[in-house]
Structure 1
Amino acid sequence: MVTTLADTRRAQHIAERVPDPELPMLTLADLGVLRAVTIAADGTVVASLTPTYSGCPAMAEMRAGVAARLREAGFDRVAIRTVLDPPWTSDWITATGRRKLAEHGIAPPLAAPMRPGGPVPLNLSPTRRTVACPRCASVDTEETSRFAATSCKALWRCLTCREPFEYVKEI
């Protein structure tokens, strides 16, 4: 089967628009989990996804969503690959994705910690973060729970406007 660059671009465009099942205001491209879309020599569209963390329960829905959208667009053969190396980092969330999170009252993650090659150092001290409130921009905030509705978010409260908000954890 002969495929064109236009076919690959169309498949990429379709896959980029698939919403994240847990944060539906974001697309998989906004979240940074859509790594690549290619078309194999036999015409199979291959979409590569990286989970946000090992065991992420949303991966099955992400795979199904990308496959369904591509098939609806007329691509008969679709394969979804899971790519684990390099591992996803919250730094891959796009500027558009960070803006969308804030617009929906969810604080985007801070910069992920630098991870030099080799073992990850163990820090037993509490991590001190300054997370700005997505509603009023105050940094007078506090974490109320390390876990929220999903494992990748924490609950915070603004001490200025008194509003609770979720924070996407940096990874």
Structure 2
Amino acid sequence: MDPEMPLLTLDDLGVLRDVEVRENGSVLVTITPTYSGCPAMATMRDDIAHKLQDHGYADVEIVTSLTPAWSTDWISEEGLRKLRETGYSTPGPAPERTSGPVPLTLTVKPRQLTCPQCSSRNTRLTSEFGATLCKAQYRCDDCLEPFDHVKEI
């Protein structure tokens, strides 16, 4: 599970890039952080290692891959469904990337999102940051409910 959004598995989130069981029985797991310096990476590595060890894999190696950089486009359909069902506004398509450094903007351009509670488009940005850097806070002016929006990265 993702420590910052425990309703999602690491596979749902697209962080789990590859799992290889080697001929000698060891396991190599490749993960990609949602952003450089993600504070949840150590917890993710520990959780993966413990889960595999609980299932009998004693020799576990977990590597971090920074390229290609993670994108919200990697969130699975199941992950998007879980986000919607629990009241999150899901990200739209990520900005198109070119080669070279990945542009990362943690500010949000205010826009009309669909309220995950009542489906109204009468919504507004209340804070560029939610509980984590990857979320923004919005409010629906029809049902008056606040909601998190997962930013496009």
Unaligned runs of 5+ in 2: none
Match of 2:26 in 1: 44
Match of 2:128 in 1: 146
Determine whether 1:113 maps to 2:95: yes
Aligned counterpart in structure 1 of residue 142 of structure 2, from 160, 164, 171: 160
Cα displacement (A) at 1:128:
4.6
Q: Distance in 2 between matches of 1:39 and 1:20?
A: 23
| 1:155 partner amino acid | Q
| Contact 2:69/2:102, CA 8 A, preserved across alignment | no
Aligned counterpart in structure 2 of residue 77 of structure 1, from 59, 65, 89: 59
TM-score scaled to structure 1, two decimals? 0.82
Match of 1:100 in 2: 82
Secondary structure at the counterpart of residue 30 of structure 2: strand
Aligned counterpart in structure 1 of residue 40 of structure 2, from 54, 58, 63: 58
Match of 1:169 in 2: 151
Q: Distance in 2 between matches of 1:129 and 1:85?
A: 30
Aligned counterpart in structure 2 of residue 131 of structure 1, from 113, 133, 143: 113
Q: Distance in 1 between matches of 2:94 and 2:104?
A: 16
Q: Distance in 2 between matches of 1:67 and 1:146?
A: 34
Unaligned runs of 5+ in 1: 1-18
| 1:43 partner amino acid | G
| Contact 2:88/2:148, CA 8 A, preserved across alignment | yes
TM-score scaled to structure 2, two decimals? 0.91
Count of aligned pairs between the two proteins: 151
Q: Deviations over 1:124-143 (max 9, x none)?
A: xx735332111111121111
Larger helix fraction of residues: 1
Match of 2:49 in 1: 67
The 5 Å alignment of 1:14-53 reads 19-53=1-35
Flag as ranges the 4+ runs of structure 1 deviating above 4 A.
Answer: 118-123
1:62/1:164 CA distance change after superposition, 3 Å: same
Match of 1:16 in 2: none
Which one has a bigger Cα radius of gyration? 1
| 1:131 partner amino acid | L
Q: Distance in 2 between matches of 1:141 and 1:105?
A: 14
| 1:138 partner amino acid | S
| 1:35 partner amino acid | R
